[in-house]
Amino acid sequence: MEEFDVDDSEQGLLSGRRSGREFRQVESSSFLNIVIRPLRVVFNILAIPLYPIFSLLRFIFRALRIPLPNFGSFTFSYRPLGPGSSHEARDPKSVAERWVRALEEETGAVCIGRSANRRRERGNGHSVATGVAGPSNLTARGGAWEEGSSGVGEGELKLLPDFFLGGYEEFARTCQKDIKVGCVIIVSEEHDDVAEFKRSTLTDPSLLRVIQENDILVWGGDIRDREAWGASQKLQATTYPFVAFIALQPRRAPASSAPPAPMMTILSRHQGPSIPSTSAPTAAQTLVAHLNEHLLPRVNPFLDKLRAQATERDRERKLREEQDRAFAESARKDAERIEKRRQQERAAAEEKQRAAEAEARAAEEQRKAEEAKKLWEAHRSEWRRWIRRGLVLREPRPGENGRGKTMRVGVRMPDGRRVVRFFGENDSVTSLYAYVDSLFIPPEFGQDVDPATPPGGAWVGESGLSGEMEKSGRTPEKWWGFKLVLAYPRREIPWEADKKIGEIDVLKGGGQVVVEFVADNDGLKGKGKGRSSAEPDDDDDEYHTEESD
């Protein structure tokens, strides 16, 4: 029965080559349609009263776990989808599910995978609903066989193999991809041996155990279905029931050439009746003996080798993936480090540019400040020379009473110089500030070259000075650039327009004043170095007022 010489390249198992035996839809003549259609309508009307009877019988048989007899065309549990059928369901999975459901109803058995679900539902107290067969990829079948094996022995629950729910081509590709032995079962309701084959062979515990233990993938169908009909043509089935085993096998090649890739091969075909059970070609004992003694011992070593190679390839693939992931992670970290370094460099360059721009702005501001300072110093120098000529009064002569009582004022400059000057009580505070201001004029500018009119065409006198201060936007302290402070006790003498010296209490009768630069006026710094504080000097200035005399 072994057919190792038969391969798929010749039988069209997975090839798209058309061998002349492809499925062709049978077209009925118009005469048959005219005759058969009315008869079919009449038959359906007459069969309506029989529907409840057959439904009741089906319910009783299933409740008593008695296999359903073959009622021929009155069995409504399965609607065939033959090559000429116009039924709307064409999906191979739906067709396979419908065929398995009909097989379960006819044999009173359930698929191994679904029996485990039924037992779990019973254990949880849930009702069992009739559904499709077990897992399409035969997953989690070991536990189901252990649970259902005891039921088979006790006669409580008959089991069927888990059928692959899909098309034949998909089934063959799955066997090739998963490196498994495939079992193809094709039946035809037109053959009398099919009913016994379903009840005895497909539910036999020894055959199910061999299928389960060797992880054989099972697919089945009725010849009236498109997928089963196409499979029967490719597998060259001549009678039914039909069982074939397929698996990957090495190609035959010359010894000198490299071994070619394995291909799907028809290992054996079994077709015909299943009775007697010990010698019939499709009997369970015959199939079990063939699998255990001939097919599996010859096929399993090669499949184990393929599985080991696939496992090794999978391990190498995973190793390459891990290496690729590690390389990608290392590349990602390197890219992050490079990007971080670039960001740091960009940040440093931007910070350096900002610092350079800030330095340039500071230099520009300093340059403008120095230019403004020079312009202000030149402007103040012109006013200072005009003030010396226009606002500094001469000292009162002895015996002169027009300017009030004579006062003797000692002035200590920031550079340490001491100067004594006599003023009249009626002289203005402006004359005192004007005299001190004239002491900052460099020696190279003589009094004979002082301007006769105020700079900028300002008014003459204190009114012109006040207008200049207001025009410059500076306070009197900042315009003068210094302030006068009584040495002891420390009292500040502020400048006020039209105020007389005699009206200042701290200067009544004279005294000593200290000149201090204003803090934010650097124009006069450097011209008079020395003490600029108003701390009292313990040394005697050797000057005395008239009252002290």
CB atoms within 10 A of CB 302: 15
Residue 459's domain is classified under what CATH number?
3.10.20.90
Token pair belonging to 249: 């096998």
223 within 8 A of 229, measured Cβ to Cβ = yes
Q: Does residue 503 have a pLDDT over 90?
A: no
484 CB contacts (<8 Å, ≥6 apart)? 432, 433, 436, 492, 493, 513, 514, 515, 516
Q: Phi/psi of residue 63, each to 5°?
A: -65, -35
Q: Which of 271, 286, 311 is the last residue of a domain?
A: 311
What do you get for the CA distance between the two ends of the chain, in Å?
Answer: 156
pLDDT of residue 132: 37
Q: Coil, strand, or helix at residue 449?
A: helix
451 or 167: which leads in pLDDT: 167
Identify the pLDDT of residue 79. 45
Residue with tokens 């970290």: 333
400 shares a domain with 280 = no
Burial of 58 from C-beta contacts in 10 A (0-12 / 13-18 / 19+): middle
In a domain, 71, yes or no: no
Report which of residues 284 and 540 the model is more confident about.
284
Instruction: Please name which of 287, 289, 269, 285 lies closest in space to residue 277, comparing C-alpha atoms.
Output: 285
Look at residue 297 in the predicted model and tell me its pLDDT: 95
Residues 303 and 191 in one domain: yes
Strands laid side by side in the 182-187 sheet: 217-222, 182-187, 242-249, 263-271
Buried b (16+ CB within 10 A) or exposed e, 66-82: ebbeeeeeebeebebbb
pLDDT at 400 over 60: yes
Question: How distant, in Å, are the alpha carbons of 50, 54, 155, 508 from that of 59?
Answer: 14, 9, 19, 138
Reported as a single tens digit per residue, the pLDDT across 73-110 is 333 344 444 444 444 457 899 999 999 999 999 999 99
Residue 345 CA to residue 339 CA, distance in Å, equals: 10
CB-based contact 134:162 (threshold 8 Å): yes
Q: For residue 243, give both structure tokens.
A: 């069982």
Q: Give the pLDDT of residue 97.
A: 94
Q: Which residue has the higher pLDDT, 239 or 525?
A: 239
Selected residue with higher pLDDT from 35 and 322 = 322
| Residue 320 falls inside a structural domain | no
- Name which of 25-34, 293-302, 334-343, 515-524 the model is least confident about: 25-34
pLDDT at 505: 80
- pLDDT category, 51, cuts 50, 70, 90? confident
33-42, 304-313, 534-543 — which is least confidently predicted? 534-543
* pLDDT greater at residue 22 or residue 43: 43
Query: Does 398 lie in the same domain as 291?
Result: no
Q: What's the pLDDT score for residue 336?
A: 94
| Full domain range(s) for residue 279 | 92-117+158-252+259-311
Asked if residue 5 is part of any domain, the answer here is no
Note whether residue 192 is domain-resident: yes
* Tens of pLDDT, residues 272-287: 999 888 889 999 999 9
Q: What is the mean pLDDT of residues 384-395?
A: 87
**What is the number of structural domains in the chain?**
2
Q: What is the mean pLDDT of residues 411-432?
A: 90
Strands (DSSP E) along 161-299, which ranges? Answer: 182-187, 217-222, 242-249, 263-271
Q: Enter the pTM of the model.
A: 0.49
Tell me if residue 252 falls in helix, strand or coil.
coil
**448 and 307, same structural domain?**
no
Checking if the pLDDT of 403 tops 80, the result is yes
Whole-number pLDDT of residue 332 = 93
Would you state the structure tokens that stand for residue 400, as one six-digit string? 């002169």
Q: 92: which residues sit within 8 A by CB, 6+ positions away?
A: 166, 167, 168, 170, 227
Answer yes or no: is 364 within a domain: no
Assign residue 163 a region: left if phi > 0, alpha if psi is -120 to 50, beta otherwise? beta
What pLDDT was estimated at residue 256?
A: 59
> Picking from 3-12, 331-340, 351-360, 405-414, which range would have the lowest pLDDT averaged per residue?
3-12
The confidence score (pLDDT) of residue 227 equals 93
In this structure, are 287 and 398 located in the same domain?
A: no
The CATH number that applies at residue 211 is: 3.40.30.10
- Own/partner pairs for 22-31, CB < 8 Å, 24+ apart? 22/230, 22/233, 23/83, 23/226, 23/229, 23/230, 23/233, 24/83, 25/83, 25/84, 26/83, 26/84, 27/84, 28/84
Same domain, 295 and 204: yes
Q: Burial level of 507, CB count in 10 A (0-12/13-18/19+)?
A: buried
Give yes or no: residues 247 and 98 share one domain: yes
Identify the pLDDT of residue 117: 67
199 and 305 share a domain?
yes
Residues 110, 229 within the same domain: yes
- 333 found inside a domain: no
3-state secondary structure of 201: helix
Confirm whether 176 is domain-assigned. yes
The whole-number average pLDDT for the span 63-81 is: 49
Residue type, 245: F
Which one-letter amino acid corresponds to residue 367? R
Pair 269, 414 in one domain: no
Please check whether residue 97 lies inside any domain of the structure. yes
pLDDT at residue 66 in the model: 66
Residue that has been written with the tokens 């529907």 in this structure:
51
Same-domain status, 404 and 506: yes
The DSSP result for 141-178, as a single string, is HHHHHHHHHHHHHHTS--EEPPBP-S-HHHHHHHHHHH
- Same domain, yes or no: 279 and 409: no
At 207, is the pLDDT very low, low, confident or very high (cuts 50, 70, 90)?
Answer: very high
